[in-house]
Structure 1
Amino acid sequence: MKRNSEFIRHFRKHKLAVISLVIVILEIIGVIVLPAALNLDPNSIDGAAFNQAPGTAHLLGTDEVGRDIFSRVISGGGISILIGFLATAVSVAVGLPLGLIAGYYKGKIETLIMRLADIFMSFPAMVLILVFVAVFGSSVPIIILLIGILNWPAVGKLIYSNVLSVRSKEYVEAEYAIGTGDRKILFETILPNSIAPLWATLAFRISNAMITESALSFLGAGVQPPQASWGNIIQAATSLIVLTKRWWIWIPAGLCLVVTIVCINFVGEGIRDALDPKMKRL
């Protein structure tokens, strides 16, 4: 409890992080609650309002086929945020145990896991995702799995280096000396003392996953219409007419994406500084 209260106290000192956390929470509540509360349908077409500018009937206007931009931005935000969080969860689910095992047992299993991580990191993730999307399709679950699995080496290497550091501590050596089992040492001593830096980077990994999804969707290889995401809404800006004369089609989604990424990164900085105040930027 004392440790938690210290974390909260340090986190609250980072004003931008606190404000950003509030914004992110409000966004998450909004994308969950608003579609049902306002009966929003991102695929509903208004046949009398093609490319209509923002007004009373359509708060953020409509696109080229008459779909309400506000509804699509809210729905697309839910998909983009969901992909960011779940893809990060997949990365942690794969990278955490592999990094833990490699750092603890060393030897051949360490070499195998670390060389596998190097192989994953040697290929451009975006290129690999595009190849897999071409083979398996681009549904939301597939995109989540691809982004998550291809980003596990960063998590694995972070945990691996922390485990190596903790493994050499005197209190761990003492547990070896008294005959404590590997399972207990691994999960009750080494893991709790190795995982803090991972928490500090999770926010950055979420934002990175969201950027990757948006880039894929912008390229037409991510979330496929008519399902909305911020990335495929912004894709409309590839048309010069839309880019220059129909700003309402792409700017709202672009602003939401930028604000969300910036806020998540500020939250990540706040968590990092709260976990280790010595790392705080001057």
Structure 2
Amino acid sequence: MDKNVESTEIIAEAIPPMGFRMIAREFKKDRLAIFSLIVLVIILLTVFIGAIVVDQDKVMTVSILDKYAEPGGNFILGADEGGRDVLGQLIIGARNSVVIGFAITIITSIIGVSIGIVSGYYGGVFDNVVMRIVDFIMILPILMIIIVFVTVIPHYSVWSFVWIMSAFYWVAKARLFRSKTLSEGRKDYVSASKTLGSSDFKIMFREIMPNLSSLIITNLTINFAANIGIETTLTFLGFGLPTSVPSLGTLIGYASNGDVLANKTWIWVPASLLILVMMLCINYIGQAFKRSADARQRLG
């Protein structure tokens, strides 16, 4: 009986951890990733719960008497040039920036990964046509085109901005995953699946795509952080979200005024620090997910 128990324990230890167990194992090895995950969760919970509680209309109401009110009293983080609460704008703006960054990342990843895998798998004329379209979009001055769309589109909103960004930022993903699929398509497991009569859809999205999971996770992480940065930059330049919608870029945009930059740091520093912390946390968490995906692929 004892031998059976010992053999069972040995077998259990020999079985490689999969799924959440493997992810948890990689996070346990990296204290910085655990700390980053905790910090990011706290930030997101605070931002999203706070955005539900905070009244956006009240926050964005102009109060000339409170212009550039310093932190303390009625305003924990002070007020901007319109007498609007910086803390309220920070909470709502962070929520908007995170939602926009996440939405753009998911939409562009679905489009880019799918088109890249299909194009790389089938190859031939279809691949040539798709890649020429990708090449054409990539040589366009995308930021200038986005600025034009933002300027001319009537009834411009957050989701208008998301769709405009998503329309152009999938092409790099398509090219990347197309090249990886070309190399994966030559491997024995793909040939074996074709011989066994597996459908093309199953081969592409149930066999090839899982083997690209490490690259997908890394790409998602980098692009999530980058998309938040792009939204913030465009808003800072005045071509992002509408002026009535709070954003981290809106708060940082006040720093373009020399007096605010030097003497009224409570307006733009909190947003800058929040962006920096979120970017670092997302990158450290992404590295841990990448290691877990790499380990899973090595173990088959």
Q: Could you say whether these structures have the same fold, taking a TM-score greater than 0.5 normalized by the shorter chain as the test?
A: yes
Question: What root-mean-square deviation, in Å, do the aligned CA atoms of Structure 1 and Structure 2 show?
Answer: 2.0
Q: Quote the offset at 1:277 in angstroms.
A: 5.6
SS of 2:66's equivalent?
Answer: coil
The corresponding residue for 2:172 is: 154
SS of 2:59's equivalent?
Answer: coil
Query: Cα–Cα, structure 1 residues 63 and 11, in superposed 2: closer, same or farther, change >3 Å?
Result: same
2:261 corresponds, among 216, 240, 243, to 243
Amino acid at match of 2:228: M
Alpha-carbon contact 1:139-1:222 (below 8 Å) kept? no
Q: Deviations over 1:10-50 (max 9, x none)?
A: 13322222222222221211111113346564213445321
1:231 has 2:246 as partner: no
The corresponding residue for 1:188 is: 206
Alignment of 1:112-191 (within 5 A): 112-136=129-153, 138-191=156-209
Amino acid at match of 1:23: V
Amino acid at match of 1:97: S
Percent pairwise identity: 31
Amino acid at match of 1:171: Y
Q: Which deviates more from structure 2 when the two are superposed, residues 13-22 or residues 108-117?
A: 13-22
| Residue segments in structure 1 that go unaligned for 5+ positions in a row | none
The corresponding residue for 2:280 is: 262
Cα distance in structure 2, aligned partners of 1:91 and 1:114: 16
1:108 has 2:133 as partner: no
Cα distance in structure 1, aligned partners of 2:199 and 2:292: 33
Bigger radius of gyration, 1 or 2? 2
Q: Which deviates more from structure 2 when the two are superposed, residues 119-128 or residues 213-222?
A: 119-128
Alpha-carbon contact 1:42-1:75 (below 8 Å) kept? no
Cα distance in structure 1, aligned partners of 2:38 and 2:206: 33
| Residue segments in structure 2 that go unaligned for 5+ positions in a row | 1-15
| TM, length-normalised to structure 1 | 0.91
The corresponding residue for 1:59 is: 76
Amino acid at match of 2:197: G
1:35 has 2:37 as partner: no
Q: Quote the offset at 1:193 in angstroms.
A: 2.3
Query: Cα–Cα, structure 1 residues 148 and 55, in superposed 2: closer, same or farther, change >3 Å?
Result: same
1:20 has 2:56 as partner: no
Q: Quote the offset at 1:156 in angstroms.
A: 1.2
Alpha-carbon contact 2:120-2:182 (below 8 Å) kept? yes
Cα distance in structure 1, aligned partners of 2:183 and 2:17: 25
Alpha-carbon contact 1:21-1:267 (below 8 Å) kept? yes
How many residue pairs align between the two structures? 278
Query: Cα–Cα, structure 1 residues 276 and 178, in superposed 2: closer, same or farther, change >3 Å?
Result: closer
Cα distance in structure 1, aligned partners of 2:252 and 2:152: 25
